[in-house]
Amino acid sequence: MATGNAGKIREILDVLRGLPVTFRQLSEFPDLPEAIESGATFVENAELKARHYAGLTGLVTLAEDSGIEVDALGGAPGVYSARFAGRHGDDAANNAKVIELLRDVPAEKRTGRFRCVCVLASADTLIATAEGTIEGRILDWPRGTGGFGYDPLFYVPELGCTTAEISREEKNRISHRGKALRAMRKRIEEWLARI
């Protein structure tokens, strides 16, 4: 699994548990150089990460790239979601920047989506890709303590709450990453049946 993000690791294992494979985490390979996410799209970044770590470990690698696309910001932060405010993984700063940029945007124009792309690859072969999205609105103040990243700002009208206010199981059922991982699970099962 080409991520060190504990929240993402939990979600990946929750959805892919039971597959006849052994999952290895990046923390088991502490000396690996970090992948450079230089792609212009989620697909490109996920593939870069998967091939990078597959090449270094010799293991088939599952990578994902995901983020939030805010319509009023022209789709930003997009692929820069984790480092939108500058430092990678600073959720509080990233959320604060989105709140500030949307300060004068009315609620009805605060639409957006979470998008996730998963890639399974070896160093030289793209094995499978899968994508998932969830539509919602961006709040002007964080709500909820669950999840991570932009979850406290992402309001899902059908649920009447943010993705930080729902259980982990519910989030895995409806989230962009949950959808992408369920689609990837099917592709992994198909791939395993062929090898």
Q: List the chain domain ranges.
A: 6-194
Integer CA distances (angstroms), 47 to 64, 113, 127, in order? 8, 21, 10
Q: pTM for this one?
A: 0.92
pLDDT band at 162 (very low <50, low <70, confident <90, very high): very high
List the structure tokens of 12: 């990946």
Instruction: Work out the average pLDDT over 72-92.
Output: 94
Check whether 55 has a pLDDT greater than 90.
Answer: yes
pLDDT of residue 88: 85
Domain 6-194 fold is Maf protein (3.90.950)
Of 105 and 86, the structure prediction assigns the larger pLDDT to 105
Instruction: Work out the average pLDDT over 34-38.
Output: 93
**110-129: per-residue pLDDT in tens?**
999 999 999 999 999 999 99
pLDDT of residue 20: 96
pLDDT of residue 109: 97
CB 144 within 8 A of CB 151: yes
Check whether 75 has a pLDDT greater than 90.
Answer: yes
Q: Which amino acid is at 150?
A: Y
Rounded Cα–Cα distance for residues 30 and 2 (Å): 12
Instruction: Work out the average pLDDT over 125-138.
Output: 97
pLDDT of residue 87: 87
Check whether 7 has a pLDDT greater than 90.
Answer: no
Check whether 168 has a pLDDT greater than 90.
Answer: no
Check whether 67 has a pLDDT greater than 90.
Answer: yes
Residue in the block written with tokens 């009447």: 160
List the structure tokens of 45: 């970044």
pLDDT of residue 147: 86
45 φ, ψ to 5°? -65, -40
Determine which one of 14, 31, 65, 104 is catalytic: 65
Beta bridge partners of 134: 114
Which residues are CB-contacts of 195 (< 8 A; sequence separation ≥ 6)? none
pLDDT of residue 93: 97
Q: Which residue in 189, 176, 187, 119 sits closest to 149, CA to CA?
A: 176
Residue in the block written with tokens 């930003």: 76
Mean pLDDT of the chain: 95
Annotation marks residue 65 as catalytic = yes
Residue in the block written with tokens 């690996």: 32
Residue in the block written with tokens 């932060």: 77
Q: Which residue in 60, 76, 83, 99 sits closest to 184, CA to CA?
A: 60
